[in-house]
Homo-oligomer: A and B are copies of this chain.
Amino acid sequence: MELSFTLRGRPRAQELAQQIRFAILEGRLRAGTRLPSTRALAESVGCSRTLVTAVYEELVAEGYLEARRGSGTYVAAELPVASVVTEGLTSPPPKWLEPLRDPDGDSPGSDECRVDFTLARQVVEPVSRRSWARMWRAVGRQSPPRDAGPPEGDPGLREAIAEYVGRARGLRCGPDDVVVTTGGVRALDLVAQAVLRPGDPVAVEEPGYPAARRTLEDRGAVLLPVRVDDDGLHVVELGSAPLVVYVTPSHQYPLGVRMSVSRRVALLEWAARHDRLVVEDDYDSELRFDGPPLPALAGMERAGRVVYVGTFSKVLAPGLRLGYVVAPRWLRERLVRLRERSGDRVPWPVQRALAAFLGSGDFDRHVRRVRRQYAERRSALREALQPASGVARLRGMEAGLHAFLQFTPELDELHLAEVARRRGVRVSPLAPFYLGTPDRRGWLLAYGGLSTQQVWWGARVLTEVLLESVELRAKEPLGGRP
Question: Taking the complex as formed, is A4 at the interface, i.e. its CB lies under 8 A from any CB of chain B?
Answer: no
Which listed segment binds B: A143-151, A376-384, A437-445?
A: A143-151
Contact between B146 and A26, CB atoms less than 8 A apart = no
Are B170 and A147 in contact (CB-based, < 8 A)? no
Contact A172 B140 (CB under 8 A): no
**Cβ contact within 8 Å between A304 and B90:** yes
Taking the complex as formed, is A478 at the interface, i.e. its CB lies under 8 A from any CB of chain B?
no
Please determine whether A347 and B321 come into contact, CB atoms closer than 8 angstroms.
yes
Q: Known contacts A146-B317, A319-B148: does B140 contact A132 (CB below 8 Å)?
A: yes
CB–CB B86/A343 < 8 A: no
User: CB distance B337 to A103 under 8 Å?
Assistant: yes
- CA–CA, A211 and B337, complex, Å: 12
Residues of B within 8 A of A84 (CB): 170, 172, 295, 299-300
- Complex contact B295–A344 (CB within 8 A): no
Q: Indicate if A158 sits at the interface (CB-CB under 8 A).
A: no
Q: Which of B88, B243, B295, B319 contacts A347 (CB 8 A)?
A: B319
Residues of chain B lying within 8 A (CB to CB) of residue A342: 185, 189, 211, 214-215, 218
**B95-A275 in contact (CB<8A):** yes
Contact-residue bracket for chain A? 35 or more
Assess whether A345 is interfacial by the CB under 8 Å rule.
yes
Is B136 a contact of A261 with CB atoms below 8 Å? no
CB of B104 within 8 A of CB of A341, answer yes
Q: Which residues of chain B are near A261, meaning CB under 8 Å?
A: 21-22, 25-26
A189 CB to closest chain B CB (Å) equals 8
Q: Considering the complex, which residues of chain A in the window 368-420 have a beta carbon less than 8 Å from any beta carbon of chain B?
A: none
The reply to whether A144 and B132 form a contact with Cβ atoms under 8 Å apart is yes
Looking at the assembled complex, report how far the CB atom of A131 sits from the nearest CB atom of chain B, in whole angstroms.
8
Contact between A94 and B348 (Cβ–Cβ < 8 Å)? no
Are B91's CB and A328's CB within 8 A? yes
Q: A22-B261, A136-B137, A318-B147 are in contact. Are A301 and B86 (CB under 8 A)?
A: yes
Taking a contact as CB atoms under 8 Å apart, the answer to whether B302 and A88 are in contact is yes
Q: How far does the Cβ of A223 sit from chain B's closest Cβ, in whole Å?
A: 14
Question: Shortest CB–CB separation between residue A57 and chain B, in angstroms?
Answer: 21
Chain A positions 20 through 52: 1 when the CB is less than 8 Å from some CB of chain B, otherwise 0? 011001110000000000000000000000000
By a CB distance below 8 angstroms, the chain B residues around A185 are 342-344
Chain B neighbourhood of A146, CB < 8 A: 123-126, 317-318, 449
In the bound complex, CA of A449 to CA of B22 (Å): 35
Tell me, rounded to whole Å, the shortest Cβ–Cβ distance linking A432 to chain B.
11
Contact A320 B344 (CB under 8 A): no
Distance, CA A39 to CA B170, complexed state (A): 32
A85 and B210 alpha carbons, distance in the complex (Å): 33
A169 within 8 A of B: yes
Query: Is A2 positioned at the interface, with any CB of B under 8 Å from its CB?
Result: no
Interchain CB contact under 8 A, A85 and B172? yes
Q: Are B348 and A320 in contact (CB under 8 A)?
A: yes
- Which 3 pairs of residues, A with B, have the shortest CB-CB distance? A81-B170, A91-B304, A319-B348
Please give the residue numbers on chain A whose beta carbons come within 8 Å of chain B beta carbons, in ascending order. Answer: 18, 21-22, 25-27, 79, 81-98, 100, 103-104, 107-108, 121-127, 129, 132-137, 139-141, 143-149, 166-167, 169-173, 177, 182-183, 185-186, 189, 193-195, 197-198, 210-211, 214-215, 218, 220, 243, 260-262, 265, 275-277, 291-292, 294-295, 298-306, 313, 317-322, 327-331, 334, 337-338, 340-350, 353, 449
Beyond known contacts A148-B313, A319-B347: 8 more, CB 8 A cutoff: A82-B172, A87-B302, A88-B298, A147-B449, A210-B341, A321-B347, A349-B350, A350-B350
10 pairs from A and B in contact (CB 8 Å cutoff): A22-B265, A79-B170, A82-B166, A85-B172, A94-B243, A95-B275, A100-B337, A126-B145, A144-B319, A145-B319
